[in-house]
Structure 1
């Protein structure tokens, strides 16, 4: 039996049944349609989803959406024979993910607070106990107008980061191809 490398409490894909340390069964599936067929997802058949990732499993682990940012966390695999360029790419991907997580957590927290203030204010003025879609659309438009510049800055920064990641991914692909050829 191979000893587990890491235990996570979210997802990965494979065509086998597995049992965690508490004896709970999980059906692990491989999604063939994906370009990266060994990324992660799980069907839970127990109280807590726990995944054992072995050293031979070459997988990225994708978790459930964050309750505030609505982004799924990704734990990227560390290759045993990782080159400096591959390491730099993985670190940049993690940094971009953390930056994205931070932005959307802050943005969504601000949105929820301002929306609640708007609802409370409008309900105090009127006798109704619920706002209409038209009344809420006024808030949404105002919020988007006030945060337009923030969104523009975020988009430009996001494009720069992703373009940089794309260039590094291309370099890693070329590096892998040259290693296979030589």
Structure 2
């Protein structure tokens, strides 16, 4: 059997037509995804993995964004005390804070990225297996 682009596109589209996406979370800025009832065990496994990846991202970015905002508030207060409480922070001062914050959080980002890549590769492999299975099931039903 020849794998055509249109067939592959159709299989990939079918997988996502029953997915609902909500508004972004105020803390993590990640949009929650809700799936409808899976039609097979393989689909259920993919949905569970997608939820696991979402939860991993949500927990990391909620924590990261909270730490960022707290650090920025402390930084702003210390700068305003140094200047006698006048004015606002300059772009240069904020960029110094951003750079220092990201440099300090580099090991956490590295750990997050490694964990995310592991989860994402497992998810990608299961999606590939599901799509191939659906592709052959779809073609066998047509003949």
TM superposition score normalised by structure 2: 0.82
Between 1 and 2, higher relative CO (CA 8 Å, sep ≥ 6) is seen in 2
Over aligned residue pairs, what C-alpha RMSD do you find? 1.9
Q: Greater strand share, 1 or 2?
A: 1
Match among 57, 60, 75 for residue 34 of structure 2: 75
Regions of 4+ moved over 2 Å: 35-39
Gaps of 5+ in 1: 1-34, 40-57
Q: Which position in structure 1 is the counterpart of 2:60?
A: 103
2: CA distance, partners of 1:175 / 1:38: 12
Shift of 1:95: 1.1
Deviations 1:109-165 (A, max 9, x none): 010001100000110110322110001111111100100011111111111111111
Q: What is the DSSP-based 3-state SS (H/G/I as helix, E as strand, rest coil) of the residue aligned with 1:123? A: helix
CA distance in 1, matches of 2:139, 2:95: 58
C-alpha distance in 2, partners of 1:59/1:86? 12
Corresponding residue to 1:174 among 126, 132, 136: 132
Q: Judging by fraction of residues, say which structure has more helix.
A: 2
Shift in Å, 1:103: 0.7
Between the aligned partners of 2:44 and 2:126, the Cα distance in structure 1 is 10
Structure 2 residue ranges without an equivalent (≥5): 1-11
